[in-house]
A = this chain, B = another copy of it.
């Protein structure tokens, strides 16, 4: 099944869908025979919702594939994450809320240290403090060339996002980062004909940067990698006739949401409750809301089992505010698993519930990995959650007579 069919069958409705994504939701027990983070968490509200829902486990990319946040989100947004790939550079720029345009070529940048002969001695310039990094980014912004515009956006410590804007710039570019010390940085090569102009600009930029930073040791040079333009994506309004909104505190999530045509809503504050307040505030203005919870993933990646449990409990406590809005469809799931015991993203399928007034209830009054394994959604590609949500929202007409 593809978007052509789905898009053709879309029918208007006055229903509202909420996609509540707990980043890195899926987990593993602390020890064999134990409970996962989600199974450990006291979640009376999620459990009650589960009892009125269909449950299942979503596979973001494919069996055994651990997704990054980009592909994980595209999948749960309904897109095939292999067909639509967001390059690393583009994600870095989205991550600092840079409004990346369709012609922009973005890259991940590092400040680094080279010796007098230009040989790399530290690829991260001693993990330069963010404060210092900001100043040097300002310096790089003074580099100007005819026919192209450069943007340098500090990220964190030694990292920055590099963006080049102009006509006919391709992104098939080799990287300047040799990924090891003891050698010089590499010139950028065009890997395709259409990227030759871009390669020349990047090489000139790097040459200018080398001069400008010469006295700024340890951050006396830069490395660029992961050159990428944004993929061209069909959007929610086009595909599904949805007025869709995103509520997320991380730039990257806002960026991916913007890419699929969601309007990014302002959040007044940086607490989870502030995100729920934004949902309430804009409730009447949109058909579809994506609400992103970051802390579950952060705790998972930090190996903080108890913190992840608490983060889930915090969501559970706020859930009644969401339900009080009487949404027609609610999905609670994740973009991937991040088990605290692995301190990383993982390939494990993600517990997911789908609630609506017309869903077939599984009658399982528990939201957890093993409860979801018994659910009627089965183990399914994450990209199928969106069509199910649309159907439950009365937004897909009959196929055939």
Residues of chain A whose beta carbon lies under 8 Å from any beta carbon of chain B: 1, 5-6, 9, 28-29, 32-33, 36, 52, 57, 61-72, 81-82, 85-86, 88, 91-92, 226, 339, 341-342, 344-349, 358, 360-363, 369-370, 373-380, 384, 387-392, 396-401
Contacts and interface: CB of A to CB of B under 8 A. Distances in A.
A396 B369 CA distance: 22
Copies in the complex: 2
B360 A68 contact: no
Contacts of A390: 64
28 contacts: A1-B82, A6-B64, A9-B65, A33-B361, A57-B376, A63-B380, A63-B384, A64-B384, A64-B387, A64-B389, A64-B390, A65-B387, A67-B398, A67-B399, A68-B400, A88-B401, A91-B400, A91-B401, A92-B401, A342-B358, A346-B358, A347-B391, A362-B370, A370-B376, A373-B378, A374-B374, A377-B379, A379-B380
Contacts of A345: 398
The interface residues of chain A, by DSSP majority, are classed as loop
Nearest to A344: B398
A298 to B, nearest CB: 16
Given A72-B400, A347-B396, 7 more contacts: A1-B61, A1-B82, A6-B64, A28-B360, A86-B400, A86-B401, A91-B401
A69 B374 contact: no
B349 A82 contact: no
A367 to B, nearest CB: 15
- Residue among A345, A387, A400 with the highest chain B CB neighbour number at 10 A: A400
A342 B380 CA distance: 25
B63 A388 contact: yes
Closest 5 CB pairs of A and B: A1-B62, A64-B387, A64-B391, A378-B379, A68-B400
B70 A400 contact: yes
Nearest to A375: B373
A98 to B, nearest CB: 15
Contact of A376 (B1, B70, B363, B369): B369
Contact of A396 (B64, B72, B341, B401): B64
- Residue among A32, A62, A86 with the highest chain B CB neighbour number at 10 A: A62
Contact of A361 (B29, B68, B363, B392): B29
Contacts of A63: 1, 380, 384, 387-388, 391
Contacts of A69: 400-401
A342 B394 CA distance: 11
